[in-house]
Every structure is written in C-alpha cells, then in structure tokens.
C-alpha cells in the first residue's frame, strides 16, 4: 500500500533544532519548522539510527527554479501529490532531477552487483549504504565542480553529473542542510502529512524496504521524502535521506529487486 497522505509542504523557515542529546549510532533527528499560511508545519528528519540500520545522505545542488516550475507555481501550504512523474512527486530511483549521469549509473550498478556477489547478505541488513561507486565518484565530483567553475564548459555537465551518498553520523547530514535552509526563500518538504496536526513525516526514501520488514507494505514509486531549498537567486538543492537497509534497485512497485 502506497503512502496515503503523500505530498509536499511549502513555506519559509520558521525554526530548526536538533535532538538535545546525540548518542551516536542511535536514533537522532533534526527538527524543521516551516511557516505556512495555515500555521507552522513540523518535520522530524531521521539522520542517525542504530548500527543495525544506518543512514546515508545526499545533496543534489545543480538545479534551478526552471527545473521545478510545477512546484514553484503552487502556493505555500500542504499539497497532496499523486504518486506519478507528472505531479511533482519525487522518486530517488526514477526522478530525472535526481539521477546521476552516464557511466556513474553504470558504475553504481556494477558496484552493487559485485558487492552482493562477494558479500551475500540477509534481507534487512544495512547493506545499502555508500559503496565503492560513491567513494570513487566523490573524487570525480570534486573535479567536475572545478571544471565547471572555469565557466563555458556547461556541455560537460551531462557527462560529469554525480552526487554521491555519504554515511551520516547525524550531525554531518544536518550541518550540510542547515546553510541551505537559512539561505532559502522557499522550502519544500516532501513526505506524508500527519493525520493529526500540522506536520510531515517519512521525509526519506519510501521504497526499497526489504521483504519481512514492517515497512515493506508501504514501498512504492514516486512517493519519496526530501527537503528542497530554493534560494532567492533561483538555485535549488535537494537534500535526501535513506536508511541503509533500503535498496535503490527497485521494481515498478517500489520493492527491492
């Protein structure tokens, strides 16, 4: 069953905080408060979990307002989104906005196949965190930014676009997000609306959970959570979170392949 209340809350930054204590390797959250015309929406951001689960984060930072025209045209507040490519919904696996390019996709798939062959794992193990492709491509990403920073080389962008997953210890994921929240003119929080009160939860990958887990029935495409920040000048970044027990190789129903 797909998430019944999936959508996006749009507004401006009201406040941001973290759990008062951080017992590393245990559950830990950032708390985002979003100002909207109907009141303040809150969202708990999962950024650390027990070692048997683990968390990874990713930042896509090469987008502009032109890439999210449909969302920009919506007023502040919460909007239910149909789980489809045309609604504005996000899908970590399928969204063109979030996809890596060319050989990076091939490298990721090859790395995953090699890892699974050399290290078979039981369903539900924290097997799907950053891998060799993320490590290698993180170095290429630094080169990409250096090349694109020279100017006049935008034609290289389709060949060099890659945004690696990074192991989260909790604070590092929030440290990356916070400057973008503070600089944003508008913030878009994707996830599932609270059934009571104003808020959004499931602000993370919502597919790829393993068979037998309590979240397996909620797997589905085009229903992933994230935080998107739009700056006054038009730059758009997307902050993504996933649990390391969740696979990014999923079928049409969002179940792990």
pLDDT in tens, 112-139: 555 555 555 555 556 777 876 677 766 6
Domain assignment present for 161: no
Q: Is the model's pLDDT at 153 over the cut of 50?
A: no
pLDDT for 128: 79
- Tell me the pTM: 0.86
pLDDT in tens, 88-115: 999 999 999 998 755 455 556 565 555 5
Domain assignment present for 215: yes
Domain assignment present for 110: no
pLDDT for 150: 52
Domain assignment present for 84: yes
Domain assignment present for 195: yes
Counting residues of the chain whose pLDDT is more than 90, the rounded percentage is: 68
Q: Domains in the chain: how many in total?
A: 1
In this structure, what are the phi and psi dihedrals at residue 181, rounded to the nearest 5 degrees? -65, -45
Residues listed for the chain: 257
Going from the C-alpha of 141 to that of each of 65, 95, 183, 192, 210, the distances in angstroms are 22, 20, 23, 32, 30
Domain assignment present for 135: no
Domain assignment present for 249: no
Domain that holds residue 233: 6-96+166-243
Domain assignment present for 155: no
């Amino acid at each position: 069953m797909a998430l019944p209340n999936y959508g996006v809350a749009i507004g401006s930054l009201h406040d941001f905080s973290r759990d008062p204590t951080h017992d590393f390797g245990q559950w830990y959250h950032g708390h985002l408060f979003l100002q909207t015309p109907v009141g303040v929406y809150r969202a708990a951001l999962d950024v650390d979990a027990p070692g048997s689960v683990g968390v990874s984060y990713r930042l896509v930072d090469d987008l502009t307002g032109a890439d999210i025209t449909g969302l920009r045209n919506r007023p502040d507040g919460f909007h239910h989104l149909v789980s489809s490519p045309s609604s504005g919904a996000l899908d970590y696996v399928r969204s063109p906005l979030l996809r890596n390019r060319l050989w990076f996709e091939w490298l990721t798939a090859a790395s995953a196949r090699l890892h699974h062959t050399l290290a078979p794992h039981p369903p539900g193990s924290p097997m799907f965190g950053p891998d060799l492709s993320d490590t290698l491509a993180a170095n290429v990403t630094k080169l990409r930014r250096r090349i694109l920073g020279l100017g006049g080389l935008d034609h290289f962008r389709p060949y060099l676009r890659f945004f690696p997953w990074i192991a989260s210890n909790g604070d590092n994921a929030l440290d990356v997000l916070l400057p973008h929240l503070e600089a944003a003119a508008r913030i878009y929080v994707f996830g599932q609306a609270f059934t009571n009160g104003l808020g959004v939860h499931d602000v993370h990958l919502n597919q790829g959970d393993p068979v037998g887990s309590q979240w397996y029935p909620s797997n589905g495409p085009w229903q992933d959570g994230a935080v998107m920040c739009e700056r006054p000048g038009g730059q758009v970044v997307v902050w993504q979170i996933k649990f390391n027990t969740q696979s990014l190789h999923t079928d049409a129903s969002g179940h792990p392949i």
